[in-house]
Amino acid sequence: MQPKLELAAITDEFTPELERALDAMAAIGMTGAELRVVWGKNIMDLTDDEVARAVDAVKSRGMHVLGISSPILKCILPGDHVLDTRFQQDIFASKHTFDDQPRLADRAFRLCEMTGAKIIRVFSYWRTMEPEKCHDAICEAVANLADQAKSHGVIIGIENEHACNIGTASEALKILDAVQHPNLKLVWDPANMLVGGEDPYPAGYDLLPIDRIAHVHAKDCHMEGHKPVWGPLGTRHVDWKGQISALLRDGYTGAVSLETHWPGPNNNKFEASVICGWNLRGLLAS
């Protein structure tokens, strides 16, 4: 059976070697590629020639660049903020700071022009002990990005990320409600909310306005204290069958993109992503 929503993946979840990742994705039936780490470099640091090579690799396999998985706003917000150290801060070959953000935004919009990507994934600064005190700064930042995105015809997708200040559906909703901009939407990641200590589905999902969900990331885990233990998609504590059914019921028409995280059998991440990719295809087709 064919997937009922577009099947996609962040390419480096298979391997940073783009061509090998795309071959595996195409074999599973994936049509959308999110670019984050390519040939060992963060997408923001690729040269124009390298970007052109990546686009050619994607298109030659009948696929398209779905989004730019940028590290924008994945940094420390200046000020008197105490960081929440419970969660691992994944940087994916990115070491950019607050001062780099305007340059990163300019580059992300240029990458969309070069690749045809329609979504730029952004964050909400590394999580602090009092996330609510960062609310105004986050709103200002994403509103500015959304204004810029409008002229480029793309969407700013703020991801709920447990290691950042917007980690849950309720926290994301506060930003979406405060910034009523058509070019600001949500990258919904149920597993990230689970890691943040709350039930993503149905409790979290039911809070969200479906028309503000631009994209969905799929991975799965169970929790041991504050530590996520990643596993094969559809076998852990996120109710992916229920979540996908709800997305279809509510008229979601975007992609569901694999973000494996599971190290895999014998720490073989490539094999893990192949397994999870087929699991996701099955879930989307059922």
pLDDT tens for each residue of 204-225? 999 999 999 999 999 999 999 8
Residue 169 structure tokens: 């559906």
The pTM of this model reads 0.97
For residue 164, the 8-state DSSP code is B
Residue 177, pLDDT > 80, answer yes
Residue 285: per-residue pLDDT = 97
SS3 category, 282: helix
pLDDT over 90 percentage in the chain: 95
Residue 192: C-alpha distances to residues 151, 166, 167, 243 (Å) = 31, 10, 7, 14
Residue 223 backbone phi and psi in degrees, to 5: -110, 140
* Banded pLDDT at 169 (limits 50, 70, 90): very high
Instruction: Output the average pLDDT for the chain.
Output: 96
pLDDT over 70 percentage in the chain: 99
Residue 32, pLDDT > 80, answer yes
CB 256 within 8 A of CB 281: no
Within 10 A of 67 (CB to CB), how many other CB atoms are there?
A: 27
Helices (H), 17-156: 18-28, 48-59, 101-115, 135-152
How far is Cα 219 from Cα 162, in angstroms, rounded to an integer?
14
Q: Which amino acid is at 262?
A: W
Bridge pairing between strands 155-159 and 119-122: parallel
Q: Is domain 6-285 annotated with CATH 3.30.2130.10?
A: no
**Which residue, among 80, 90, 186, has the nearest Cα to 130 in the 3D structure?**
80
How far is Cα 232 from Cα 220, in angstroms, rounded to an integer?
7
H or E segment at 272?
helix 269-285
Residue 78 backbone phi and psi in degrees, to 5: -60, 150
**Which residue, among 43, 90, 94, 20, has the nearest Cα to 259 in the 3D structure?**
90
Helix 48-59 and helix 18-28: axis angle, to 10°?
20
Residue 143: per-residue pLDDT = 98
106-159 tens-digit pLDDT = 999 999 999 999 999 999 999 999 999 999 999 999 999 999 999 999 999 999
Residue 258, pLDDT > 70, answer yes
Residue 1: per-residue pLDDT = 81
Residue 181: per-residue pLDDT = 98
**Which residue, among 159, 268, 258, 170, has the nearest Cα to 218 in the 3D structure?**
258
**Which residue, among 67, 74, 1, has the nearest Cα to 31 in the 3D structure?**
67
How far is Cα 258 from Cα 215, in angstroms, rounded to an integer?
11
**Which residue, among 98, 61, 81, 214, has the nearest Cα to 149 in the 3D structure?**
214
CB 162 within 8 A of CB 192: yes
How far is Cα 135 from Cα 113, in angstroms, rounded to an integer?
30
Residue 94: per-residue pLDDT = 67
245-257 tens-digit pLDDT = 999 999 999 999 9
Helices (H), 132-239: 135-152, 169-178, 190-195
Residue 92, pLDDT > 70, answer no
Q: In the block, which residue shows the tokens 């009092």? A: 130
